[in-house]
Structure formats: structure tokens, C-alpha cells
Amino acid sequence: MLTANVVAPSRPLLYPGGQLKAPVKDVRCSVRISTQLKPIGLGLQLQHGVKRNRKQSLAVICAAAALNATCSASGQTQTVTRQAPTITQAPVHSKEKSPQLDDGDSGFPPRDDDGGGGGGGGGGGNWSGGFFLFGFLALLGLLKDRESDDEISMSLRAGIVGLPNVGKSTLFNAVVENGKAQAANFPFCTIEPNVGIVAVPDPRLHVLSELSKSQRAVPASIEFVDIAGLVKGASQGEGLGNKFLSHIREVDSILQVVRCFEDNDIVHVNGKVDPKSDIDVINLELVFSDLDQIEKRLEKLKKGKAKDSQSKVKEEAEKSALEKIREVLMDGKPARSVALTDFEKDAVKHLCLLTMKPVIYVANVAESEIAEPGNNPHVNEVMNLASELQSGIVTISAQVESELTELPPEERTEYLNSLGVSESGLGNLIRETYALLGLRTYFTSGEKESKAWTILAGMTAPQAAGVIHSDFEKGFIRAETVAYDDFVAAGSLAAAREKGLLRSEGKDYIVQEGDVMLFRFNV
């Protein structure tokens, strides 16, 4: 079992080992979870590349406030999935860059492949409809599921950033379990980004899978990207320069690794462990880069090229939003601290502003500190800063997590116990990242498979259906829905129906966290 060591900003810390050291009002991820979740089909995913239904990508990516997926370019990216045996060089296709972005190649593969299916749960694959189909696709397994073995639920990107040599690649290797990113005691060890796909641990999926006697359980996932270290002046080309800021532009959320461990043998680029200074350096570079983008954009907007009144309104909204953001950036604060209307947010989305992205600070502590990280003053400093900067914080020892992955499973508990904790903190890191992205999970569950699907908070039933396959959204008739707890209490979908717990929901239904769903559609 895993106990949480994750806190939301402004909230007290829940330490590993489950001992609460301070009164907690609202601690996210404080549930105990099993880390035995093993992603199924992830290894195969690697060889085939990330297949996503275009609709699925669009539905989820475009709608997200912090998600800006349009800035892909070319380069080389290393991709590895949790459980995959080796790192594979993923083919990288060129993609048109956003005209506003000029800070170097990003090096990421495009986010949404053509065609391809949503797969799993309700099926998906490359299914093309054309006939009338009623039914619970997961349960009945009626849908053609060409690629479901090598697909997982869609994932969003979390970028691991920080100063050089603070433990980013070490953390990446631990998170993706078998990651082979080079991690070594010298700055700028990482140059090209490493990408890994990681399952989101969710004990509910196992319960559903057991109840439905599913042949397999397919978890939701997140992509983690290990990015090269940033130094002071990066926005002006220092260190590895601008190119690496564009790698950050590509991700949906930022995990900023902050060195909190003292070790004279490990080089610190600024000579001493100083989380405040480290966080300031990174933030300032991101702020400078955003200011640069904004100035260029405002110059363009001055020319006022909008053709119709609608575009004019949008340009005006963008201009006013950018001016508000610029003011805040000038004070060294992040763009996400500006209160914008949804319309304004939408108008500036295309700029992929770095400081608009949600951030989790990952306080990287020494092996000896994981049982009581609160005793480390550096950790407390990071907590305070995270709170000021409207960000989350996770305390972890990248070194321990990385070493754990080298041990056979039976020896891991013993090692953790010797350090005074009962479980690894990675599950929390992964789930906190998921939560940070404002994501929700719904399930499909049947004999063939139980599957967790990722949606954004507030999505309607047809939009959620569209994550499985665009045809489900187009031909949506209604959804039969049962809350997770009700499904478990009833023991099966059939029993839930008999007890009247299965609801019939229409097009306006907002899918709730943990809903178990069955879509009826007509194409």
C-alpha cells in the first residue's frame, strides 16, 4: 500500500509512511493505493508509436486551458514506456510551427496521429461505423478493436524541468521504471528530451476488472518528458539556450525538480543548494521567454489584420489579455496568476505561454530524509514558494526511486522499510500530475477489458464518448451510467440495472469522476 506524500499548495504536508504531521484540511491524493497496477499493452505501444484518435486528441487537447499542442516541430526524441524493455528512437515528423514561436525546434513527435483508434474499453481501433449498433461495447465486445492490444488511454505531457544536475533524469528513469535516460553527475547530461509513457495508478480499475472478470485492465496514462537543464540566461541563449525552452512549451504541465539534498559530491551549477534561488532562476527564464513572445505578438496585433468583426473581437481580447499578463510578468510573477475570462484564455492559448502551465515542484531529498522530509528546511522553503506561486509540491527522493526500480519487487519493501517508509512516492507523483492537469477518469468495464478513460472536467457524455471514438460522439444517443461506488455495491452492471442504479443520461450530462459508462449510439 502507498501512502501519500503529496500536498496541494497552502496545505500542510502529509509525510510518507502515512503520519500526518499537521492538521490537514484538504489534502489531495491522501488515499491509500496499491502500486501493483501494471499497465497492459504499454510495451507494444512503444513499437507502434502513440496512436490516438484525432478526435480524441482534439476533444481533449483543444479544450484544455493549459493545453497547447500545436507547437510541434522536428528533431529527435527518445521514447520509452513503463515496462518496455528498451528505449526506442521514436520517428519524428515535421509539423508546422505556430507562427508566433521562434525559439528553436521542439524535438517532439506530433501529438495526434492521423486516424488510429481510441481502442480498448469501448473498443475503438480503426473501426468505421455505418451500421446501427446498440449496446455496451465493452461488455459485449462487439466493436472491432484492431489495435486495442497496443493502445492505452490518451495521455498528456508533463515536462520534467529544472537546473542542470538536480536529478531530472534520475526521476524520469524511476517514473518510467525502466527508463534509460542517461543520469550522471555532470551538468547538461541530457540534451535531447526523453519521453516515457506511464500508467496512472488507479485501484478502482482493478476492482472493476475483478467484478467484470475482465481479461485485462487498461489504465489511463501520462507522458513524462525529461528535458535538458536550464540555466540563468537560457532565454538569451545561455547554457543549452532557447531550444530547450521550446521543449517546455510543448508540455501540458511542468514538474520542476528542485534540489533539496546536500551532497558535496554532486555538482550544483550555482555552487550551493538553494531552492529559492533555483526556483527564481527557472521562473525568471520562463518569464523572460514569455515576455519575449508577448512583445512580438503585441507588435503583430498592432497591425490589426482581423478580417471580420468576430476576429476583431478575438484580437481585442487577446491584446487586452496579453497586456494584463505582461504587467504581471514584469513583476516576475507567472501568467497563470492573472485572472482571465475563458474567452481571453482561449485567445492567448496559441502562444503556449510557459508560465501559464500548471507547475508541481518536486522537492528532491536525500535517501535519509524521505521518512521525515519536513525536517529538511529546504523542503519547507519549497512548500512556501509553491504556495505563493499557486503550485503543487511533491517530496520524493529521485535517487531512492531510481534505485528501487533496480531491485527485484520482493526486495523493494525491505529497502523502503529500512528507510522508514512503507511505499514509494511515485504513484502520488503520477496521480498528482494527473490531477494538476484537471483531468477526470471514467471507466468502461466488461469481460473483454476494463479501461480507464481520460477526460477533462466538465466534459459532456457525447464528448466523453468521443474520446473512445469520434463516431461515438457523432452518433451519440444516450449513455447508461452508474457511479463507481454503486457499481461496486451492486457487484455488476446487470445487478446495478436491476436495482435501478443504472441511469440513462442524455447529451447534456456532465460525466462525473469514476462513472462507469455504456454508450448507445447510431452511426
Ligand X SMILES: Nc1ncnc2c1ncn2[C@@H]1O[C@H](COP(=O)(O)OP(=O)(O)OP(=O)(O)O)[C@@H](O)[C@H]1O
User: Does 207 belong to an annotated binding site?
Assistant: no
**Partner in contact with 520, chosen from ligand X, Mg ion, none, beta carbon below 5 to 8 Å by kind:** none
Binding mask 385-404 for ligand X (x = CB under 6 A): ------------xxx-----
Taking Cα atoms as reference points, which of 224, 219, 203, 222 lies closest to residue 39?
A: 219
Q: How far is the CB of 293 from ligand X (least distance, A)?
A: 24
Q: Report the residue number, 20 or 366, with the smaller CB distance to ligand X.
A: 366
187 binds ligand X (CB under 6 A): yes
190 binds Mg ion (CB under 5 A): yes
Q: How far is the CB of 226 from Mg ion (least distance, A)?
A: 6
| The three cell numbers locating residue 450 | 476494463
For 345, list phi and psi in degrees, rounded to 5: -60, -45
Q: Report the residue number, 188 or 415, with the smaller CB distance to Mg ion.
A: 188
261 binds ligand X (CB under 6 A): yes
At 24, which helix (H) or strand (E)? none
Candidate residues 155, 190, 253, 355; the one interacting with ligand X per rule CB under 6 A? 190
User: Does 348 belong to an annotated binding site?
Assistant: no
Stretch that binds Mg ion, among 45-53, 154-162, 185-193, 446-454 (CB under 5 A): 185-193
The whole-angstrom separation of Cα 167 and Cα 230 is: 13
Q: Report the residue number, 184 or 494, with the smaller CB distance to ligand X.
A: 184
**Partner in contact with 340, chosen from ligand X, Mg ion, none, beta carbon below 5 to 8 Å by kind:** none
Taking Cα atoms as reference points, which of 245, 43, 77 lies closest to residue 149?
A: 43
Reduce the DSSP state of residue 55 to 3 states and report it: helix
Q: Report the residue number, 10 or 185, with the smaller CB distance to ligand X.
A: 185
Nearest residue to the partner ligand X, using Cβ: 229
Q: Report the residue number, 159 or 229, with the smaller CB distance to ligand X.
A: 229
Find all residues with CB under 8 Å of 343, minimum gap 6, and list them: 314, 317
**Partner in contact with 167, chosen from Mg ion, ligand X, none, beta carbon below 5 to 8 Å by kind:** ligand X
User: Does 166 belong to an annotated binding site?
Assistant: yes
406 binds ligand X (CB under 6 A): no
The answer to whether 198 touches 175, Cβ cutoff 8 Å, is yes
Taking Cα atoms as reference points, which of 230, 248, 252, 249 lies closest to residue 239?
A: 230
Find all residues with CB under 8 Å of 367, minimum gap 6, and list them: 397, 399, 400, 419
User: Does 169 belong to an annotated binding site?
Assistant: yes
| Residues near ligand X (CB under 6 A), total | 25
Q: For every residue of 89-141, which 3-state class applies, written as one string?
A: EECCCCCCCCCCCCCCCCCCCCCCCCCCCCCCCCCCCCCCCCCEECCCHHHHC
Candidate residues 165, 235, 445, 450; the one interacting with ligand X per rule CB under 6 A? 165
The answer to whether 63 touches 69, Cβ cutoff 8 Å, is no
**Partner in contact with 116, chosen from Mg ion, ligand X, none, beta carbon below 5 to 8 Å by kind:** none
Q: How far is the CB of 109 from ligand X (least distance, A)?
A: 21
Binding mask 309-348 for ligand X (x = CB under 6 A): ----------------------------------------
Amino acid at 148: S
Reduce the DSSP state of residue 522 to 3 states and report it: strand
Q: How far is the CB of 10 from Mg ion (least distance, A)?
A: 31
Binding mask 213-252 for ligand X (x = CB under 6 A): ---------------xx-----------------------
Residues 80-119 that bind ligand X (CB under 6 A): none
The answer to whether 80 touches 46, Cβ cutoff 8 Å, is yes
User: Does 168 belong to an annotated binding site?
Assistant: yes
Candidate residues 44, 90, 140, 189; the one interacting with Mg ion per rule CB under 5 A? 189
* E-state strands within 342-425: 359-364, 392-396
270 binds ligand X (CB under 6 A): no
The answer to whether 272 touches 378, Cβ cutoff 8 Å, is no
**Partner in contact with 188, chosen from ligand X, Mg ion, none, beta carbon below 5 to 8 Å by kind:** ligand X
Residue corresponding to grid cell 524541468: 161
Q: Report the residue number, 166 or 348, with the smaller CB distance to Mg ion.
A: 166
**Partner in contact with 164, chosen from ligand X, Mg ion, none, beta carbon below 5 to 8 Å by kind:** ligand X
DSSP strand pairing (253-259 vs 450-456): unpaired
Candidate residues 72, 83, 153, 170; the one interacting with ligand X per rule CB under 6 A? 170
Other residues' Cβ atoms within 10 Å of the Cβ of residue 65:
17
The whole-angstrom separation of Cα 141 and Cα 127 is: 13
266 binds Mg ion (CB under 5 A): no
For 477, list phi and psi in degrees, rounded to 5: -110, -60
Reduce the DSSP state of residue 322 to 3 states and report it: helix
Q: How far is the CB of 179 from ligand X (least distance, A)?
A: 10
Candidate residues 148, 293, 364, 424; the one interacting with ligand X per rule CB under 6 A? 364
The answer to whether 509 touches 458, Cβ cutoff 8 Å, is no
**Partner in contact with 424, chosen from Mg ion, ligand X, none, beta carbon below 5 to 8 Å by kind:** none
The whole-angstrom separation of Cα 172 and Cα 151 is: 22
Taking Cα atoms as reference points, which of 305, 166, 172, 221 lies closest to residue 46?
A: 221
Candidate residues 169, 209, 433, 445; the one interacting with Mg ion per rule CB under 5 A? 169
183 binds ligand X (CB under 6 A): yes
| The three cell numbers locating residue 233 | 540566461
Where does this chain bind Mg ion (CB under 5 A)? 168-169, 189-190
Q: Which residues bind ligand X (CB under 6 A)?
A: 162, 164-170, 183-185, 187-190, 228-229, 261, 263, 266, 364, 366, 397-399
